[in-house]
């Protein structure tokens, strides 16, 4: 009997081959979310697979996190939609289009798929841009992330500590300084615009001392370069002012909070128990912070004079 395409069916998880490119973008956090659902309800969302290979196995085209969650949860069967039979290029295009829908967003997987299509199968960047409804610049940036980012920085993108837009800027740096710069910039709470400014400054200067400062002390370098270029570029003014410092501190605090929550969600019970006291303190501080910020932001939005604040 011929295999019916584009219809949901049930497959054994062992019948589905993992795609190394798609697993680049699978975080344990995403797997954990699907695993919680799967443990209670089973897998209620089908994955997309290719037509069977000669071995009878299918290749995963979309839904890698769901497949991994079912495997970890001991679920041996999974609903799947088998895409119509197509060649390897067609499969890659489908995977790329599904990734671009942001159902399981992964800039790394998108970059790897684009790299394969362009450099292994000769697909034109313009064709991919039209296929995805994106600009050629977007395609180029994703390609650069795959080709130029160091593996360590890719890991930072995968675990969520570095956003893809910031990673696009880091990819413009020499590979040997990317990890140190990205780690230090994240620890300082720098955003994409600030990191882009520093990357551009690194590329435009001939001074080894300036480059070293940008990599090792990005926040200090940002302030220093901002003061020097203030007359030329109003956008870089007040880089060391109290408002900018407060914003940087808030960015850093938010990133550390998200990192702690992510680690807690993916930790085992023993690790959570061991850190219970610290996590409880974090919870209490977070509640107090929410109350304080709600009050302050409400007063600012209402234009209430600063001297009339009620403490």
Q: Domain check: are 213 and 289 in the same one? A: no
pLDDT of residue 63: 78
198 and 165, same structural domain?
yes
pLDDT of residue 5: 59
Kindly state whether residue 230 falls inside one of the protein's structural domains: yes
What pLDDT digit, counting tens, does each position of 174-232 carry?
A: 999 999 999 999 988 888 899 999 999 999 999 999 999 999 999 889 888 864 433 34
Alpha helices in 42-87 (DSSP H): 64-72
Q: Is the pLDDT of residue 301 over 60?
A: no
Q: Judge if 204 and 241 occupy the same domain.
A: yes
Res. 77: pLDDT tops 90? no
Query: Does residue 238 sit in the same domain as residue 175?
Result: yes
Number of domains in the chain: 2
Tell me the DSSP string of 98-161: HHHTTTT--HHHHHHHHHIIIIIT---HHHHHHHHT--HHHHHHHHHHHHHS-HHHHHHHHTTS
Give yes or no: residues 154 and 250 share one domain: yes
pLDDT at 310: 45
| 52 token code pair | 């069977």
Check whether residue 241 and residue 180 sit in a common domain: yes
Q: What pLDDT score was predicted for residue 177?
A: 95
Position 254 pLDDT exceeds 60: yes
Question: What integer is the mean pLDDT of 72-77?
Answer: 78
Does any domain span residue 171?
yes
Backbone angles phi, psi at 51, to 5 degrees: -65, 155
Residue 13 covered by a domain: no
Name the token pair of 229. Answer: 């270029």
pTM of the model: 0.53
What is the percent of the chain where pLDDT is above 90? 21
Same domain, 157 and 194: yes
Q: Mean pLDDT lowest for which of 61-65, 191-195, 221-225, 240-244?
A: 240-244
Residue 197 and residue 246 in one domain: yes
Cβ proximity of 105 and 131 under 8 Å: no
Q: Would 31 be classed as within a structural domain?
A: no
Does residue 41 lie in a domain region?
no
User: Quick check: is 291 in a domain?
Assistant: yes
Is 223 part of any domain? yes
Q: Say yes or no: 244 and 184 in one domain.
A: yes
Residue 33 lies in a domain: no
Q: Residues 109, 111, 115, 118: what is their CA dihedral angle, to the nearest 10 degrees?
A: 110
Domain check: are 158 and 218 in the same one? yes
**Residue-averaged pLDDT of the chain:** 78
Indicate the pLDDT class of residue 101, thresholds 50, 70 and 90.
low
Domain extent, residue 284, equals: 267-304
């Amino acid at each position: 009997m011929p295999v019916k395409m584009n219809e949901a069916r049930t497959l054994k998880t062992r019948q589905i081959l993992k795609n190394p490119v798609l697993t680049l973008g699978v975080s344990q956090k995403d797997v954990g979310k699907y695993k919680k659902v799967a443990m209670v309800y089973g897998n209620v969302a089908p994955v997309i697979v290719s037509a069977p290979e000669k071995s009878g196995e299918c290749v995963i085209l979309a839904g890698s996190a769901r497949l991994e969650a079912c495997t970890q949860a001991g679920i041996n069967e999974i609903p799947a939609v088998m895409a119509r039979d197509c060649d390897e290029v067609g499969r890659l295009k489908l995977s790329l289009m599904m990734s671009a829908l942001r159902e399981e967003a992964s800039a790394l997987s998108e970059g790897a798929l684009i790299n394969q299509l362009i450099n292994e199968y000769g697909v034109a960047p313009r064709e991919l841009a039209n296929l995805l409804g994106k600009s050629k610049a977007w395609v180029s940036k994703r390609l650069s992330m795959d080709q130029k980012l160091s593996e360590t920085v890719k890991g930072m993108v995968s675990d969520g500590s570095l956003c893809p837009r910031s990673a696009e800027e880091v990819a413009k740096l020499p590979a040997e300084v990317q990890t140190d710069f990205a780690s230090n910039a994240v620890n300082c709470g720098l955003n994409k615009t600030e990191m882009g400014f520093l990357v551009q400054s690194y590329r435009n200067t001939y001074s080894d001392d300036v480059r070293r400062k940008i990599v090792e002390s990005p926040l200090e370098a940002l302030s220093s370069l901002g003061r020097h270029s203030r007359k030329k570029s109003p956008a870089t003014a007040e880089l060391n002012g109290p408002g900018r410092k407060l914003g940087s501190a808030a960015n850093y605090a938010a990133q550390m909070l998200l990192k702690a929550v992510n680690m807690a969600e993916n930790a085992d019970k023993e690790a959570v128990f061991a850190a219970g006291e610290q996590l409880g303190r974090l919870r209490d501080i977070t509640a107090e912070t929410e109350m304080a910020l709600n009050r302050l932001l409400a007063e600012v939005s209402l234009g209430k004079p600063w001297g009339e604040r009620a403490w």
